[in-house]
Each structure stands twice: as C-alpha cells, then as structure tokens.
Amino acid sequence: MTAPLRHEPVRSEERTPAHAVRLRRLNRWQAENLREDLADLYVESTRVPAGQEYRSRKAFLRRLTGDIRRAGFALLVAEDTALAGCVYGFPVPREGTWWRGFDGPLPQSVEQLTASGHVFAITEIVVHPHTDDQGLARRLQQALLADHHASLGATLVDEVDTRSYDAFLSWGWREIGALRRPSDPTTLRPPAPVLLRALVLPLGQPLSTRPDGLAHENRTQRPD
C-alpha cells in the first residue's frame, strides 16, 4: 500500500490550481492500457532506495495486474495537465479470504460486513508530490468508496511503512489488528512472512455508536 508522499516544495510557476484536478473512472481495459503511465506515477511519487527503481516499478505492475483480474476491480485517476494520482481496489470477498492470517478473532462487525458484501478494499493510493491539491488523497479514497456504496473501507499497511500508516490515521482510518502474509518475491524485502497492519474506515454513523467501535450505514447497503 502506498500513501501520498510529498517531497520538496514546488515553485509557484509550476503549481496547478487544486480545482483543476479532476477525477476519472477507468474500466479494466483502460486500466490495462494505462499500466505503464501508472507505474511511472508510482516511481515518481514514492521514496525508493537508489538503484531500486526498476525493481519497485516491476513490483507495482505485478500488484496492479493481479488486482485488475479481481472481481469488482475499480480504479480512479486524478488528472490536471498530467496524471496527478490514482486509487484502486476491489470488494472484499464475502467468504473473508482477504483477512486470512489475521492475528486473533476478526472483530464481529468487520466479519458481518464482509459476509454481507459491504467492505471495499483499497489496495493502492498514490499522489504525485507536485500536485497542488493537498486533499487529493482523501478525495480519491472517498470517491472510490462512495462509488461502490461501501459501509467499510479496508486496507493493509506493511508494518515498516510508517509514512503510509500515519497518513491513513490522519484520514480517519482505525487499526483493528494485524495479519501475516508470505512476502511478495518481487518486493524489496527479504523473503519472510510480512506483518501487515489492518486498517478500516467506517462510513456513516460515528464510531462510538457501536460497542466494538464500528458502525453500519443502512443507506449504503447493497442488495444481498
């Protein structure tokens, strides 16, 4: 998972007004055709150790290709004069396989919402550091979740990725636990089980309205 990373300030003559950034939905075919551009955006927007850009780009393309094949895959891009950001994901399968490796029992509300098909996983969010729209990452994730009438957003963040973790917390996401998965052989990490933090974003009622801290928004229910 990649959260927006911002580097050096952009000179005023290079800035694009935030209102000029527009969001666009892409279907699977369009996403496939934009793969290379999205990979360029990813490399330009993340901090990668010197000499590892090619490997990082390859890992991103592998993840994107895998997600495009998933049922319900959806992608939004943000554009001004060029690609400014993207977010994509898919509905969490009702059988709960997305939560495999979770440490301990899954919170009851999360389990119920998963079984009813109301959880949408955001698997990547990238914002170019030169965009002038400071709220673009939040706009992207909210638009994608709203498109799919989700009651709960879900994402997984590598325990070593503190920048993404802090960003998600600042957007209102909550940690519900952790899970372990085999490491991706194309990533920059050595082969070993990876500890991932499980984060959720409840939509609708305030979190405090439910004993377990999660709420279900009736207005966003999809037919079972």
Residue 8 scores a pLDDT above 60: no
Coil, helix or strand for 180?
Answer: strand
Q: How many helices (H) and strands (E) would you count in the chain?
A: 6, 7
Q: Within a 10 A sphere around the Cβ of 131, how many other Cβ atoms?
A: 23
CA–CA separation, 114 and 126 (whole Å): 25
User: Do the Cβ atoms of 192 and 183 come closer than 8 Å?
Assistant: yes
- In tens, the pLDDT along 168-196 reads 999 999 999 999 987 665 555 556 678 99
Q: Tell me, what's the pLDDT at 175?
A: 97
CA–CA separation, 165 and 157 (whole Å): 6
CA–CA separation, 156 and 172 (whole Å): 15
User: Do the Cβ atoms of 91 and 148 come closer than 8 Å?
Assistant: yes
**Helix 35-45, helix 53-68: angle, nearest 10:** 130
Token pair listed for 166:
């802090």
Percent of the chain with pLDDT over 90: 63
Alpha helices in 98-135 (DSSP H): 108-115
Residue 112 scores a pLDDT above 70: yes
Residue 106 scores a pLDDT above 90: yes
Q: Within a 10 A sphere around the Cβ of 140, how many other Cβ atoms?
A: 26
| 37 vs 191, residue with greater confidence | 37
Query: What is the DSSP code (8-state) at residue 151?
Result: S
The top-level CATH class assigned to 21-220 is alpha beta
Q: Are strands 174-181 and 152-158 parallel, antiparallel or unpaired?
A: unpaired
| 2 vs 183, residue with greater confidence | 183
- In tens, the pLDDT along 115-168 reads 999 999 999 999 998 876 778 999 999 999 999 999 999 999 999 999 999 999
User: Do the Cβ atoms of 80 and 131 come closer than 8 Å?
Assistant: yes
Residue 201 scores a pLDDT above 80: yes
178-186 contacts, C-beta under 8 A, 24 or more apart: 178/102, 178/103, 179/99, 179/100, 179/101, 179/102, 179/103, 180/101, 180/103, 181/100, 181/101, 184/59, 184/62, 184/63, 186/55, 186/58, 186/59, 186/62
- pTM for the full predicted model: 0.79
Residue 80 scores a pLDDT above 90: no
Coil, helix or strand for 69?
Answer: coil
Task: State the average pLDDT for the chain.
Answer: 81
